[in-house]
Structure 1
Amino acid sequence: MAVLEILPLAFVMIAGPQILSAVFLATSENWRRNSAAFVTGSAVSISLLVTVAYFLGSGANSQGTSNDTLLGVVLVLLLVAMVNTYRTREESEPPKWMGKLEKATPKFSFRLGFLLLGFFPTDIFTSVAVGSYLAGNDLPWTDFIPFILLTLLFLALPSLILLAFGNRAETFLPKARDWMNANSWVVNEIVLLFFIAMTLNNLFG
């Protein structure tokens, strides 16, 4: 059951610039090597974060301190972020580095996967949440493996679609990329809603 509870967080890991980057790389010149490097870099950073959170969480559990105040602060910050995302939806622009993805190299793609999945705020929060959850429930570290495999599958999906459907995918993926680029604020709102639901569940569940 624990695995089923953390699996939905794989969606949170890739929602936003993460999946958008995967789509961009799948439409790049050297898409096979770039996509593989991006997924590999992501796997390394996610594994490191979850592992650190797991072992730190195992030590912190013995203290038995309450975190209701912290959760309340997090909830307020999430609500503020959600309102701000909606208010600035017309002004939102993709990061400048996304313009480099169509001519990316495998080295750049690996570094992007490592940094984006390891240092993007929502991904840090999610990886730490997974590691802490497993540690807090005295579950084995290996229970995070299905979570990371599903996350990596999502990230590899654009290139897998390209492999499976060929020319049809070459027409579809750029359209999907442009739509996601134009509606990135919607994805951000969905992610924030998910975190708000998680926080409320931790507070009152």
Structure 2
Amino acid sequence: MGVGLQVLPLAITMMAGPQIMSAIVLVTTGRAVRVSLAFLSGILLATAAGVAIARELAGLLGSALHAGGPHSSGFGKAIQIGLIVLLALLALKNYLGRKTAQPPKWLGTLLSASPATGFKTGLLVILSMPSDVLIMLTVGANLEHHNAGFGAALPFLAATLLVAALPLLLYLAFHRKAVRAMPAVRDWMNTHSWLVNIIVCAIFITLVATGA
């Protein structure tokens, strides 16, 4: 897969879960536009930095694996299988705990977020989420595999930013309806966070299994 292909599933997975829930919460605040723009700035910076670092790590790891000879492909396959098993177990854990699942407590604090808090949240929801780290590593490995520079990841960055901006764009385009609808969407995602996490795991298992 080139980074330009299948980029939308990767971008959606990047923002699924607390990430998009944060974006929805922020458009229900008193300073929706300013705080949301700060949040998007954090998302873009964290994703760009993460992909750049992942590209360098993939280059270093790729050199080590090439030096390992014929066993390197087996090592890569083992990592792929390990990721699939780990994600399947995580999905199972979310399903079994669905009745007691609760959204992260910090989401509630975003209702009074300032632009600075929005920016920090944008950074943290990308850099502190294991699923996002895995996706950025996947993109970095793809760049290395195709001997591509950082510029080849721009479609992925743009798609991730677009998905992150959807709540704000809907807010701007359909202000009155969005003001009424967003709290309901936020509440649904809060009560169904376990389902969102399972969907994220399923998407990423598919991407790993198909060599995305």
Q: Is TM more than 0.5 here?
A: yes
Matching of residues 141-180 of structure 1 within 5 Å: 141-180=150-189
Percent identity, please: 36
**Aligned-pair CA distance for 1:157:** 1.1
**Aligned-pair CA distance for 1:162:** 1.1
Question: Could you tell me whether the CA contact under 8 Å between 1:42 and 1:118 is conserved in 2?
Answer: no
Number of the residue aligned with 1:58 = 59
Question: Could you tell me whether the CA contact under 8 Å between 2:7 and 2:159 is conserved in 1?
Answer: no
Q: CA RMSD in A?
A: 1.5
Question: Could you tell me whether the CA contact under 8 Å between 1:10 and 1:147 is conserved in 2?
Answer: yes
Question: Could you tell me whether the CA contact under 8 Å between 2:7 and 2:155 is conserved in 1?
Answer: no
Number of the residue aligned with 1:196 = 205
User: Could you tell me which of 109, 117, 120 is aligned with 2:118?
Assistant: 109
Question: Could you tell me whether the CA contact under 8 Å between 1:134 and 1:140 is conserved in 2?
Answer: yes
Runs of 4+ displaced beyond 6 Å:
none
**Aligned-pair CA distance for 1:118:** 1.6
TM-score by length of 1: 0.94
- Give the secondary-structure state (helix, strand or coil) at the position aligned to 2:29: coil
Distance 1:133 1:152 in 2: 20
Number of the residue aligned with 1:35 = 36
Could you report, residue by residue, the CA deviation over 1:66-96 in whole angstroms, capped at 9, with x for unpaired residues? 3112222222211211111100011111111
In the alignment, residue 178 of structure 1 is paired with which amino acid?
D
Tell me, yes or no, if structure 1 residue 79 matches structure 2 residue 85: no
TM-score by length of 2: 0.91
Distance 1:133 1:167 in 2: 42
Mean Cα deviation higher: 138-147 or 34-43: 138-147
- Could you tell me which runs of 5 or more consecutive residues in structure 2 were left unpaired when the two chains were aligned: 67-71
